[in-house]
Structure 1
Amino acid sequence: MIYSTVNLQAATSTENLQALEEVKDFRTTDLGRGGKERWTYHLLPEAALDAELHNMSNATSSRSVDSVTFQPCAAYANLNQDRYSIEEWELPGGVWQFTAIYDGHCGHDTVNYVHRRLPSMVRMSLQALLQSAPITSLKPELVSEALRNTVRHLDESIRSDLFDFLPYDHLTKMSDAQLNRRISQRYSEWDTISTRCTQGSTILLTLSDPLKKNVWILNLGDSMAVLGGRSLSGKWSAMIVNSMHNGNNPTECQRIQREHPSERACMTDNRVLGYLAPTRALGDTWLKVPSVYTRRAFAPHVQDWLTPLQVAEYASRILTPPYVSDLPEVFHYSLDVIPKQEIILILSSDGLQDLYDSHDVQMSDQEMADRWVRLIGRHTRPTKDADLQSNLALRLLRDAVGGNNIELVSRNLTLEMEDKWMDDVTILVQRFR
């Protein structure tokens, strides 16, 4: 056997110094897991942090709303399942403003469907109300009811598509061969329907009238809305508007247990049927319809993360659906009677709250809300330059990813890891005064 010999010259001292220079700002972390595994991140200089965060979070500002949406993991950056809307509608009586955060789970199809359809549905519903009653005599409860009904109607449309394709009485009588033939003949249609039915999305939206005297906040899921105000004395206060619709909320767990009194598995490990964290959402139709749909129709076409054994186990727990609710909570505030010089509204997906778990001090939801409002309150004065500091949502995101802790911020932005190390984060900050 003939071997080839390769002669490699030893690196010079200059080259060694250059190599050391290239890695001097790299660090490793175990993410607090305590194991042997380490992941690398790049320690960025303070001057570069805000610019990097601005670019990675798609930070934007409109006349009265600042926004960011953030997922730093390179493998998931383009797979961020959060969506948001900021729209202004010219309607009878003036311009209404609509904002919303949609936090998708288990995929993109359902959250895209909600993002695409809900704003126009709300606008049509509001327009119908304004045509029947002038804005000056429009009762707030009518707007609340219209918002609630619109969200439920959208969820009903997902179920209707399923029942039109596979009526319950037909499904129970079909043989496996007949079912497979029906699905294969219209597979593209079925793929769209089944995907929407096995994915879901939460919703947190606001609607404000032309004079900014009234604001409505609708919540379905576990995103958070915080209303902040500055009093005449200059002190800021924060109020969490909505309750969390997830398994960590004892009230929600008790509600589901009351609705399914003889089913011990209806809430397991703080999850609906041991599977889903949000207790209210759009989609997740397989948890709202008879189990025959999951066992016979969804199981062969369910997403990759569930094995057939897992699907069978969850299906066996579906006895008296629905388990996930599509009934939102709607809150109305008359801003002209609130004695505050400045009023802001913060909307955030649940990923923002999760980020504070990496901080040294554990905070309650109210403590987080107080922190957010105080932080934003220090920067609410308008600036002439559209610089990084003028985006209030970006300010809040910077605090959440580490604030003044350069190492923590750098780690959260540059960690070299294939798995997501944080949930998707979306923040909208709306200024009313």
Structure 2
Amino acid sequence: MSRVTQAVALRTSKALLRGLSRKNMNKLIRRTYFVGGTKSTHNQPFRKSGLFGSGKELNFALVGGGLLVLTYSYLSPNNVVSLDTVKGIRQFTSSANDGRSNSQGSGSVGNSGGGNGNNGGGSGQGESIMLLSDNEVNAKLTNHQQSYLVERGKGVLRYDISQLPSNNPIEDNHVEQIVTVPSTTASGQTEEEDLSFFGVFDGHSGAFTSSRLAKDLVQYVAHQLGQVYSQGADILSSSEKMDGAIEKGFLTLDNDIVYGSLQALFQSPSKETMIAALPAISGSCALLSIYNSANSTLKVALTGDSRALLCELDSENNWFVKSLSTDQTGDNPSEVERVRSEHPDEPNAVRNGRILGSLQPSRAFGDYRYKIKDIDGKTLSELPEHLRIYFRSKPRDFLTPPYVTAKPEITTTKIGPNSKFMVIGSDGLFELLSNEEVAGLVVRWMESNMSPKVPCAFPKGKLPEVKDISTDSESMRPAFRYKRQQGKKNTAEYLLEDKNVATHLIRNALSSGGNKEYVSTLVSIPSSLSRKYRDDLTVTVVFFGEPSGQQPSNVDGTIILNNDATTQPKPKL
């Protein structure tokens, strides 16, 4: 295959970080073109019988109260288990660690360019990059995209996921799982209801903590829900009991990640216990949403600075967006007040918008160095030297830990006929797009890709007007990267090239208002240099409603891979 290449010198100046004008971008870029290829995909239905066409083995375990939680990996299609073997609760899943999400890869823990409060990676001035062709840019943008059609008649129609790495390996992760729960109707009939889990995990200082969350967080929450269920409580109708189970699941997992793994390391210092302790050394934010089909409520539990948005359309065809979470950072006045109240007479507990002047999120999993001084009276200096090198020194002014907690803030929202979709994303998305822009981009995508068509009175080429009705908007950090200069006219407001709406959001987030040059440059910059200009990006979009022209009683309970909006993972060599 022939290809023409050009090396492009891109000065790594602070000007790009603040935002390049189109004129300045043109000075830096000389166009180059490559000949690219295409990829084919195929449908993979996920059926209620448990016969997964993708060849995933389901390994199931009781986690409390008769609650079934499943783990999964790519194995032979012959390894199939029934989902009907445990009384009461079954689980359906479309993905977890399926080849797209990163496992615990190699790398220097604690020293990598981190998204949340760590110094970005990359070398100094005068870096050269290879500007990718349009085909290669598209291949990178679509490489980690997935889409699923949900034919269960339980309120969720479809969900799309996409990721774009900046760190290598990507420090973000995600999870999508559906757990079914028996519910008794007023007439005494037993029916199944769905708890649909959608999570985004924004890691920092490595991928270890976010990978652990993708593997275990739903299981820990499910275990706590199972404890409530085993006591005869109706977990589907008790909002307070669900909140308590979610919070306990979060805190128990973080305790196991930090204290449990480090205790094991001190008791038996070895390569194996050191590997198990890596999620305690790195860190991760966590956003876990749970849609309850029994009462059409959506819970969002947040630890950190990821964000969840809900978009609604009223009877007069006006669009509204509201945040279902509040960024938990050293810039949030309520979080600053909380941390300082826990550490009186410590003016540096929050400094320069960061915890101890270092970590931007005020809540996170892992991050042992903000939480503990010792383990059972033993300090890190007592570990063998070959293990101590994995640990960073304690932050300055580290006096009365813990300074960081994994305790989530939980919101509950009613999903009604006007509720159209939810967007959850790592903070890398919201550094680039406002809430209104995110919602408007999804609306424009829906006009061209979903049936029936959504009403939109605004002309093509422009984003629709969306009103942000978030109740705590002052505590949310605004988008700040690559914003167009005030007063400059821009004829193109968005790009419409993707069948996957999450990929569509990522492409437009990098475009600074529809400029392909921005997308080409920002995607072309390699790791770790790219970390100076953009974070890892992880986005999930969930559409609510009932299947068009189909009654819930007629659906067959499947979750079907939408091959038009999915890129199949490459086979491992």
**Shorter-chain TM band:** 0.7 to 0.9
Higher mean C-alpha displacement, 295-304 vs 412-421: 295-304
| Equivalent position amino acid for 1:125 in 2 | Q
1:154 equivalent to 2:237? Answer: no
Give the structure 1 partner of residue 106 of structure 2: none
Return the letter of the residue paired with 1:424.
D
Correspondence 1:185-334 to 2 at 5 A: 186-192=269-275, 194-211=277-294, 213-290=296-373, 296-297=381-382, 301=387, 306=392, 311=393, 314=395, 317-334=397-414
Structure 1 segment 19-34 matched on structure 2, within 5 A:
22-23=4-5, 27-33=8-14
Equivalent residue in structure 2 for 1:84, among 161, 174, 179: 174
Identity of aligned residues (%): 23
Kindly provide the CA deviation profile for residues 123-145 of structure 1, in whole angstroms up to 9, marking residues without a partner as x.
23334434523467x22121112
Task: Note if contact 2:12-2:125 (Cα within 8 Å) is conserved in structure 1.
Answer: no
Q: Name the SS for the 1:157 alignment partner.
A: helix
CA distance in 2, matches of 1:244, 1:114: 19
1:423 and 2:535 matched: yes
Do residues 120 (structure 1) and 219 (structure 2) align? yes
Match of 1:353 in 2: 430
Distance in 2 of aligned mates of 1:120 and 1:250: 33
Deviation per CA, 1:332-391: give whole Å up to 9, x if none. 11223xxx53421110101112345xxxxxxxxxxx00111111112235548xx96332
Q: Please state whether the residue corresponding to 1:133 is helix, strand or coil.
A: coil
Report the CA distance between 1:285 and its aligned residue: 2.3
- Residue 196 of structure 1 deviates from its aligned partner by 2.8
Relative to 1, partners in 2 of residues 1:186 and 1:53: Cα closer, same or farther, differing over 3 Å? closer
Query: Which stretch shifts more, 29-38 or 90-99?
Result: 29-38
1 CA distance for matches of 2:420 and 2:178? Answer: 19
RMSD value over aligned CA atoms? 3.1
* 1:410–1:142 Cα change, 3 Å: same
Given candidates 12, 37, 45, the residue that maps to 2:126 is: 37
For the 8 Å contact 1:49–1:410, the answer to whether it is kept is: no
CA distance in structure 1 between the partners assigned to 2:382 and 2:365 by the alignment: 20
Partner of 2:255, secondary structure, is: helix
Q: Residues 164 and 53 of structure 1: is their aligned pair in 2 closer, same or farther, counting only changes over 3 Å?
A: closer
Superposition deviation, residue 255 in structure 1: 1.7
On the 8 A contact 2:162/2:502 being kept in 1, the answer is: yes
Q: Tell me, which stretches of 5 or more residues in structure 2 are unaligned?
A: 16-123, 151-157, 183-191, 452-495, 546-573
The 8 Å contact of residues 142 and 162 in structure 2, kept in 1 or not, is answered as no
Counterparts in 2 of 1:97 and 1:297: CA distance versus 1, 3 Å? farther
Residue 104 in structure 1 maps to residue 203 in structure 2: yes
- Counterpart for residue 141 of structure 1: 240
Distance 1:232 1:112 in 2: 42
Q: Which residue of 1 aligns with 2:504?
A: 395
Alignment equivalent of 2:160, drawn from 66, 73, 94: 66
Question: 1:408 is matched with which residue?
Answer: 518
1:273-304 superposed Cα distances (whole Å, 9 cap, x missing partner): 22222110111123212257665257954566
Map of 2:435 onto structure 1: 369
Deviation of 1:270 (Å): 2.1
Cα distance in 2 for partners of 1:44, 1:285 equals: 43
Which whole-Å CA distance do the structure 2 matches of 1:284 and 1:38 have between them?
Answer: 32
Residue 248 of structure 1 deviates from its aligned partner by 2.0
C-alpha change, 1:317 and 1:294, in structure 2 (3 Å) is farther
Larger deviation, residues 287-296 vs 151-160: 287-296
What is the alpha-carbon distance in structure 2 between the residues aligned to residue 417 and residue 284 of structure 1? 23
1:3-18 → structure 2 map (5 Å cutoff): none
Matched residue type, 1:271: R
Aligned 8 A contact 1:59 1:69 in 2: no
Cα 1:228–1:56, aligned 2, differ >3 Å: closer, same or farther?
same
- Alpha-carbon distance between aligned partners in 1 of 2:162 and 2:442, rounded to the nearest angstrom: 14
Q: What is the distance in 2 between the residues matched to 1:112 and 1:373?
A: 28
Q: 1:231 to 1:27 in 2, by over 3 A?
A: farther
8 Å CA contact retained: 2:162, 2:540? yes
Question: Which letter does structure 2 place at the counterpart of 1:40?
Answer: I
Q: Which residue of 2 aligns with 1:169?
A: none
Deviation at 1:193, TM superposition (A): 5.0
Q: Distance in 2 between matches of 1:271 and 1:303?
A: 25
* SS in structure 1 at match of 2:195: strand
- Which whole-Å CA distance do the structure 2 matches of 1:88 and 1:195 have between them? 29
Structure 2 partner of 1:11? none
Please say if residues 423 and 539 of structure 2, whose CA atoms lie closer than 8 Å, have aligned partners that are also in contact.
yes
Can you list the C-alpha shifts for 1:384-412, whole angstroms capped at 9, x where unaligned?
A: 8xx96332211211110115211101001
CA distance in 2, matches of 1:389, 1:55: 9
Q: 1:341 aligns with which of 418, 433, 443?
A: 418
Q: CA deviation at 1:49?
A: 7.5
The runs of 5 or more residues in structure 1 that have no matched partner are 1-18, 167-181, 357-367
Question: What does the per-residue CA deviation read over 1:314-342, in whole Å, with 9 as the maximum and x for residues that have no partner?
Answer: 2x622211100121100011223xxx534
Shift of 1:221: 0.3
CA contact (8 A) 2:380 2:388 kept: no
Query: Which residue is equivalent to 2:85?
Result: none
